[in-house]
């Protein structure tokens, strides 16, 4: 792109380019050069908006985490309606869209990125997955209070189990995303005990 051409939203353009590179080439292929080439901008554009490439990646992940707040509100709003397993299955499929699955791989792949993310959001586990587990825990707590799962359900343990198991289904980039039925089977297996015991 010629010098002096204004970019309407350089950050958005760079984030979108990074997501395309991640989906196409994986975490190994995500470099500052790959991002700027994909965005069609000069190399200096990224460094005018971010301190360095890891700072750019931190903001990319933060944006993805911010989207979880909207998903969390929607999920909690569904408590008391439909089926618990149905809501969890839909939420987990939505959570592990191809970009989020790729971002999680990126976080695992880059030590410096994990370190910087933990400086701003100190929490155990893998950023994004930890926040997702919190979203699931809050929803399950609501369902527990409504009597739709067992009163003594360990909602945090259930949330970690769901996130971990479903992440495994989505982690293989080569195989592509699993069928919704496969996700539903995992959710039903994890939730079966607490759903059945609330009926006793």
Flag whether pLDDT at 34 surpasses 50.
Answer: yes
CA dihedral 122, 117, 157, 104 (to 10 degrees): 180
> At which residue do the structure tokens 């259930």 appear?
158
Q: What are phi and psi of 29, to 5 degrees?
A: -90, -5
Model's pTM, two decimal places?
Answer: 0.87
For 46-80, write each residue's pLDDT tens digit: 999 999 999 999 999 999 999 888 899 999 999 99
| Res. 132: pLDDT tops 90 | yes
Could you tell me if residue 52 is left (phi over 0), alpha (psi between -120 and 50 degrees) or otherwise beta? beta
Average pLDDT, rounded, for the chain = 90
Res. 128: pLDDT tops 60: yes
The per-residue pLDDT for range 79-117, each reduced to its tens digit, is 999 999 999 999 999 999 999 999 999 999 999 998 899
The pLDDT, as a whole number, for residue 8 is 58
Q: Tell me which residue of 139, 29, 155 sits closest to 95, measured CA to CA.
A: 139
Q: Is the pLDDT of residue 4 over 60?
A: no
Which residue segments constitute the domains of the chain, with CATH numbers given?
A: 1-49 (1.10.10.60), 62-197 (1.10.357)
Q: Can you tell me the distance from the alpha carbon of 85 to that of 55, in angstroms, rounded to the nearest whole number? A: 38
Long-range contacts, 61-64 (Cβ 8 Å, 24+): 61/103, 61/106, 61/107, 61/113, 61/117, 61/127, 61/128, 62/117, 62/120, 63/15, 64/99, 64/100, 64/103, 64/128
Contacts of 32 (CB under 8 A, 6+ apart): 43, 46, 47, 53, 56
pLDDT, tens digit, for every residue of 164-189? 999 999 988 777 789 999 999 999 99
């Amino acid at each position: 792109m010629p010098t002096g051409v204004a970019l309407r939203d350089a950050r958005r353009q760079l984030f979108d380019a990074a997501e395309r590179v991640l989906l196409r080439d994986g975490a190994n292929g995500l470099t500052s050069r790959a991002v700027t080439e994909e965005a069609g901008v000069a190399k200096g554009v990224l460094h005018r908006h971010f301190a360095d490439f890891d700072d750019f990646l931190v903001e990319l992940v933060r944006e993805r985490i911010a989207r979880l707040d909207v998903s969390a509100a929607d999920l909690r709003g569904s408590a008391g309606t439909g089926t618990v397993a149905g809501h969890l299955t839909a939420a987990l499929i939505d959570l592990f869209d191809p970009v989020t699955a790729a971002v999680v791989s990126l976080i695992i792949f880059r030590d410096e990125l994990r370190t910087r993310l933990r400086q701003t959001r100190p929490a155990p586990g893998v950023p994004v997955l930890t926040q997702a587990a919190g979203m699931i825990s809050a929803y399950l707590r609501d369902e527990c209070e409504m009597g739709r799962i067992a009163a003594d359900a360990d909602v945090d343990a259930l949330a970690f189990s769901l996130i971990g198991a479903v992440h495994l289904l989505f982690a293989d980039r080569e195989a592509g995303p699993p069928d919704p039925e496969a996700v539903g089977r995992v959710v039903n297996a994890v939730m079966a005990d607490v759903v059945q015991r609330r009926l006793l």
